[in-house]
Each structure stands twice: as C-alpha cells, then as structure tokens.
Amino acid sequence: MKEVRHYVEALQVGFEEVRKNGSILLKTLLDVQTRIEPKKAGLRKLPGTVLKNPASGRIVYEPPQSAAEVESLMNNLIDFLHAEDDLNPILRMAIAHHQFESIHPFYDGNGRTGRILNLLILQKESLLDLPVLYLSRYITTTKGEYYRLLQETHAKGLWKDWCLYMIRGVSMTARSEIMLVKSLRALMQGSAQQSLPPSLHEDRVRGEGARHIARHRFEISGAVGRRGNPPQGKEGENQLLHQ
C-alpha cells in the first residue's frame, strides 16, 4: 500500500507541475522520483548499475555510467520533449519513454517514473487533462513484450516495432477507459432513478444529475484526446507512424 500511495503522490506532483509550468523540467522528473523512492532519490552518481535477467543473472543491458553523462543525456531528453517540430505527440511519448529507460537515471524507481512520464507528455501536448489513461496496466500485463522490444530497439534499432507497441497501448487503454466512463455514467443514472420519488425522476435527472454527468463526460472526453479519437487497429497505428 505504501508503494501505491507514493505512486499516486508522484503522479499528482508531476501533473501539478506540468499544469503550472506548461512544460516538463528535469526538476519535474526529480520531484516525481523523490515521491516514489524517497530513500533513493536523485540522479545516479556512482558507476556500477547494470540490468540483469532475473532468472539467469546474465547482464542484459548496461546504462550510461558516469554522473556527467547521465545528467547530460537527461538534459538532452528534456530538450527533445520541447522540440518545435511536427513529430506526432504519441510518437514523441514512445521515443522519450524508451530513451528515459535507456538512460536509467535513478538508482531505483525508473520504471514507475517512466510510466508517469508517459502521462506527463500527453498532458503537456494537451491530449490529457486528467491522469485517467492508465498505461501502467498495459505495460505490466505485456511485460515480456515490453522488455523484449526495449532490448531489441537497443540492439537492432527496431523503432517501428517499439512505437507500434506504445501506440497500441494508448489506443487500447483509451478505449478501455471510455467504456469504463460509460459504465459509470449508466450506474449514476440508474442510482438517480432509484433514489428519487417517481415525480422527481425526470426533472432531477434532466437537471442537476444530467449536468453532473455531462461535466464528467466532458472532462474525460477531453482527457483522452482532443486531437481526435484513439487510433483504431493496425491501420490507425500505421497512420500515426507516417504522420
């Protein structure tokens, strides 16, 4: 439960900083990671960090080692997040997430910070007003594919496969969250009908209840994508890759 509480606090801190500044700073990511791992906060300063296969113990990746290189790469990543170009924001999120995990800037909490970074990028790009797009579930339920594509992109430069994986995650998660909101809306309408006297059902549901539901519907529909609906299937994913 403590880990969940720290994650929620970190997400709230990140969203508030991006809302206030309109940008993602290195300080933003440091503040997020500090909430996630308060006892292991800050950029790596000492060499020796490697990523191992948990089953075999074999080293599968060695991130940058020197403190100066880690800080320099993180500053380059921040510049990339704010580049003034025509790159699709979901592709920017996919590339930035891979680069962040490749830098592996912290002693601990890199995965959770990287997943929050995804949401902060979508927020910065005006694709997300509320932290309702729970990409963490998609990544954790496809963990084998996630780590395989991370490694293959390192080794073989398979950026298309990696980007398609992330686009698919945004698409699937957005559709899932929309279905959840619709279910909650139906539940709210049903509860309103059951709790009011028959003579008040119609007026109240059309009045305050309807306004309440409409407000939440507006918030969620804005949150999941002002620039259009989520990409549908492989055709939609490929359209994003070619924008």
Summarize pLDDT for 39-49 with one digit per residue, the tens.
Answer: 888 999 999 99
Confidence at residue 128, expressed as pLDDT on a 0 to 100 scale = 87
Average pLDDT, the chain: 82
Higher pLDDT, 160 or 56: 160
- Per-residue confidence band for 66, with pLDDT thresholds at 50, 70 and 90: very high
Provide CB contacts within 8 A for 140, sequence distance 6+. Answer: none
**pLDDT at 211 > cutoff 60:** no
**Stretch 198-218: mean pLDDT, rounded?**
43
Nearest C-alpha neighbor of 221 from the set 174, 172, 170: 174
pLDDT at 240: 56
Is pLDDT at 28 greater than 50 in this prediction? yes
What pLDDT band is residue 116 in, cutting at 50, 70 and 90? very high
Q: Do residues 28 and 17 lie in contact, with contact meaning Cβ atoms separated by under 8 Å?
A: yes
Q: Which CATH class is domain 2-125?
A: mainly alpha
Q: Is the pLDDT of residue 232 over 60?
A: no
pLDDT in tens, 124-138: 999 988 877 888 889
Contact 145, 165 (CB under 8 A): yes
Tabulate helix, strand, coil % of the chain (nearest 5).
70, 5, 30
Least confidently predicted of 51-55, 92-96, 238-242 = 238-242
* Residue 226 scores a pLDDT above 90: no
Does position 201 have pLDDT exceeding 70, yes or no?
no
Q: In this predicted model, which residue has the larger pLDDT, 179 or 16?
A: 16
pLDDT at 229: 45
pLDDT at 216: 40
Cα end-to-end span (Å), the chain: 41
How many helices (H) and strands (E) would you count in the chain? 11, 2
Q: What is the rounded CA–CA span in Å between residue 219 and residue 225?
A: 10
Q: What's the confidence (pLDDT) of residue 231?
A: 47
Find out whether 158 and 232 touch, Cβ atoms under 8 Å: no
